Homo-oligomer: A and B are copies of this chain.
Amino acid sequence: MTLIKKPVTGMKDILPKEMAVRNYVLDMIRETYASFGFSAIETPVVEHIENLLSKQGGENEKLIFKILKRGEKLDLSAPTTEEAVTDSGLRYDLTLPLARYYANHASELPSPFKALQTGSVFRADRPQRGRFRQFTQCDIDILGEASHLAEIDLILATSLVLSRLDFHHFTIRVNDRKLLKAMADKAGFPESDYEKIFIILDKMDKIGRDGVRAELLESYPENMVDSYLAQFGEEGAEGGLTEQDLALMEETGSPLPEIIRTVDAVKQGDYRVVYDPTLVRGMGYYTGPIFEIAMDEYGGSVGGGGRYDEMIGKFIGQSVPAVGFSIGFERIIMLLLERGFEVPGSAGKTAFLIEKKMPEEKLAAIWAEAMELRASGRTVDIAVMKKNKKFQKEQLAEAGYTDVREFFSRS
């Protein structure tokens, strides 16, 4: 029987060229966040099925790869259910496992704890171009810090990563769950409908103000809908915070003004931080400021996050301040590859081509020379000379081996 060559549906093999870019970006991420005092940590990719299905994951809970129980615990001899035959699953994000991790290890960690995670997450999504069922996420979170210092830290560090990867002219849209709620409240919507209303509001980008208005009118009276929309100012209006904005922020105790002004004063890259009252972010667990990075050269978002002060409480029964940012690692890689990004130092390597039958002492001398060059930081590949040496050299040149030396048994 021949085995299956392709990866499983929706997952991918990573070729050397892409892998080099991925490792370069991961190094840059690690180095930059480390300079802000973030510590790298890791959780297992396998998580308790009970945690995965605890309503922290929104739509992602429908996309879980579930793992079969093993040994005596598995009974397939009679009709059964998914619940009865599985005990765990692959994580669909890094936030839930981080909350579990912090709940489990808080006494061993500094407070506040600044965590950096880069790892694979899994979603059994319908396969589509550029979206995979296993992909890398990169999350930074600050746990145990109630003040908006945490938000400022995350926004400045993340923008610095993007600037160092030569991304500019991006926009960080910020909003606050408290403002979203206050605006819905002012319009007179019932609190139980807030999430439903936010889902409609979230479409402002796609269907415009008229579209949102039409959808809201399906369920609510005109005066309520119009008093709601009036609070959002002019469509497409951007810029500084208005008097009205500031009044609402003051009223709700939202730290957005200080976050926006501090980032604006300190930022080094060419990007903007903009208040966007229509920013919703899907996850119901957010409790305060939320943010999203929009990049001009890419239609969608390349990262986002927010404050989620209640999630760790699901594990330990008492709430812990938490705020996090998730970078769209795969999108960043895609943009860099499209741009033809070359990893520094990927050229200028040395190849030693040696004849097939080389006397042992000569072979040892060649190796010794290669070891010396390698010790000095140079890449040296030793390969047997092929019949079609011209083609071999072309291949080597393509892989960055611009210095090719040949060794013959007789010389």
Contact = CB atoms under 8 A, between A and B. Distances in A.
A149 B7 contact: no
Interface string A1-39: 111111110011111100110110000001000111101
Given A3-B100, A262-B364, 20 more contacts: A2-B314, A3-B48, A3-B103, A7-B43, A8-B46, A13-B105, A14-B43, A35-B374, A36-B379, A37-B379, A45-B120, A68-B68, A68-B85, A74-B82, A76-B82, A114-B381, A145-B383, A149-B383, A265-B361, A266-B371
Interface string A83-119: 0011110100000000011011100111110100000
A340 to B, nearest CB: 18
Nearest to A66: B68
15 contacts: A4-B48, A4-B100, A7-B44, A12-B44, A14-B42, A19-B40, A23-B30, A35-B380, A37-B349, A44-B134, A46-B90, A76-B76, A152-B367, A160-B371, A160-B374
A407 to B, nearest CB: 12
A109 B152 CA distance: 44
A104 B7 CA distance: 9
A46 B395 CA distance: 32
The main secondary structure of chain A at its interface with chain B is mixed
Closest 10 CB pairs of A and B: A37-B381, A16-B39, A11-B44, A265-B364, A14-B42, A35-B374, A5-B104, A266-B367, A66-B68, A19-B40
Given A3-B51, A381-B114, A122 B68 contact: no
A77 interface: yes
Interface of A: 1-8, 11-16, 19-20, 22-23, 30, 34-37, 39-48, 50-51, 54, 65-68, 70, 74, 76-82, 85-88, 90, 100-101, 103-105, 108-112, 114, 120, 122, 124, 133-134, 145, 147, 149, 152-153, 156, 160, 258, 261-262, 265-266, 268, 314-317, 349, 351, 354, 356, 360-361, 363-364, 367-368, 371, 374-375, 377-384, 395-396, 399
A355 to B, nearest CB: 11
Given A15-B108, A46-B134, A105-B15, A2 B379 contact: no
A379 B39 CA distance: 11
Given A68-B66, A120-B45, A23 B5 contact: no
A105 B19 CA distance: 14
B68 A13 contact: no
Contacts of A78: 79
